[in-house]
Structure 1
Amino acid sequence: MLYDFNGVWSDATGPNAPLDYATGTKSLQFSFKSSIQSWIDAGIPAGKINAGLPFYGRTVTATADMSNAKDMYQPLSKTIPHGDGDDKEETDISCGGPKLFSGIWKYANMRTEGVLDSPDSAAEPWIRRFDKTTGTPWLYNKDTKDFVSYDDAASISAKADFAAEKGLAGVMIWPVTNDYDSELVNAVLLSFST
């Protein structure tokens, strides 16, 4: 599992599943690459590791306007916002807490519910950016201040390429049913087909 690195529990908005981490930020100093390397350095054979890839985005609400932000690391609200149309207020039965939204946006729903009008462009009032350091796209809604860190075909491809180069057994997807027209699955398959 190499996702859920950042969320409402974090000190700032940040990548859900960074390929690399950004030094000197409020984000965790862990990533897809550093985690895999740590396991290999600890003696786990690369051929016994499957790396997790998220086919969803995690939403938090920024407390600052991110329309022109230079980076994705901004203060956030500790209240989980409503995610996509499938996100329902539910009680975590293991914890017995209050009913809450998950804040999850399935990739397919980003493509069909008016967030992404193409794989690499957002529909108003959303703004899409790509963070080159962490290798992840992110979205910001100018009206609600919702920030969504997610993976697209480019970020999934980079992670799958790294896993293949390291000689990992493969990757696992959480969950494959969140894909849209096989955009993300095809990115994985290209990395492992050579």
Structure 2
Amino acid sequence: MNYDISGPWLTYVGPNAPLDDSCAPAANQQGSATGAIKAWTTAGVPSHQLVLGVPAYGHSYIVAPSDGLTSNDTETPIIASFPAFDKNQHPKGDKWDDGEGVDECGVQQTNGGNFNFIGLIEAGMLFPNGTATAAVDYRFDECSQTPYLYNETSQLMVSFDDAKSFSAKGNFIKENNLRGFAIWESAGDNNDILLNSIRTAAGFDEDC
């Protein structure tokens, strides 16, 4: 699977499902689809037997504006790369997210902080077509080929996947002759925006 590469277990916000990380600073290289496929094929596994796991969800974090935004030589601040986040705060994700409380084993758990793609729409961060609303800043990271959202007021940052990142993953599947993809999970999509994007880019027929 190519997700949960970065999450709240780290000390900074990174891509949940990076297509590549070789262009990231060495300290932030946690793995990627590119690296995984290279490792498997180098080990002798034919690429046409490999399936790329992709996520319809992302992780959220509380990030102070001083860390979350950078000028980057532009007049308008943009979302910073790999910002630190407040590990003492655990934001609640969408309605499918695991809330805080004691689990069945008697262990205290915090909020999961996960947002499905459709959950970001329901939260007002994305329009129904999957594009960012005026409530958040949006940045597409060209290295990992994944997007980020940030609300400066609530200080909520989300690393997730959208149609653009799924299209990049579809192209990767096609270019590397992979068997296909598996998604966790299709119910997190909205009107098949993600599924259609990756299937079209991968060159799969519309009908299964």
The two structures have a TM-score, normalised by structure 2, of: 0.84
Structure 1 ranges of 4+ moved more than 3 A: 90-96
SS in 2 for 1:147: strand
Match in the other structure for 1:107 = 117
Contact map agreement 1:139 1:148 (CA 8 A) in 2: yes
Aligned to 2:184: 174
Over 3 Å counting, the alpha-carbon distance change for 1:158 and 1:95 in structure 2 is farther
Give 2:155's aligned amino acid. Answer: K
Count of residue correspondences: 193
Q: 1:97 to 1:27 in 2, by over 3 A?
A: farther
Identity of aligned residues (%): 32
Query: In 2 relative to 1, CA 149–92 (structure 1 residues): closer, same or farther, beyond 3 Å?
Result: farther
Q: CA deviation digits over 1:44-95, x for unaligned, max 9?
A: 1112211101001111222453233563211112243111233241568587
> What is the CA distance between 1:25 and its match in structure 2?
5.5
Letter in 1 for 2:99: E
**1:76 and 2:76 equivalent?**
no
CA contact (8 A) 2:103 2:109 kept: no
Look up the equivalent residue of 2:29 and give its one-letter code.
L
Unaligned runs of 5+ in 2: 70-76
Q: Which residue of 2 is the match for residue 192 of structure 1?
A: 203
Q: Aligned pair 1:40/2:45, yes or no?
A: no
Are 2:5 and 2:30, in contact at CA under 8 Å, matched by a contact in 1? no
- Residues 52 and 171, structure 1, Cα contact 8 Å, conserved in 2: yes
Quote the RMSD (CA, aligned, Å). Answer: 2.1
What's the CA shift string for 1:111-141, capped at 9, x where partnerless? 23211125232331x2111111111110111
For structure 1, list consecutive stretches of 5 or more residues without a partner in the other structure.
Answer: none
Aligned partners of 2:203 and 2:100: how far apart in 1? 37
Greater CA drift, 5-14 or 22-31:
22-31
Aligned-partner Cα distance in 2 for 1:170–1:90: 36
Residue 119 of structure 1 aligns with an amino acid whose one-letter code is G
Distance between the aligned counterparts of 2:15 and 2:81, measured in 1? 8
Change in 2 beyond 3 A, CA 1:49/1:95 = farther
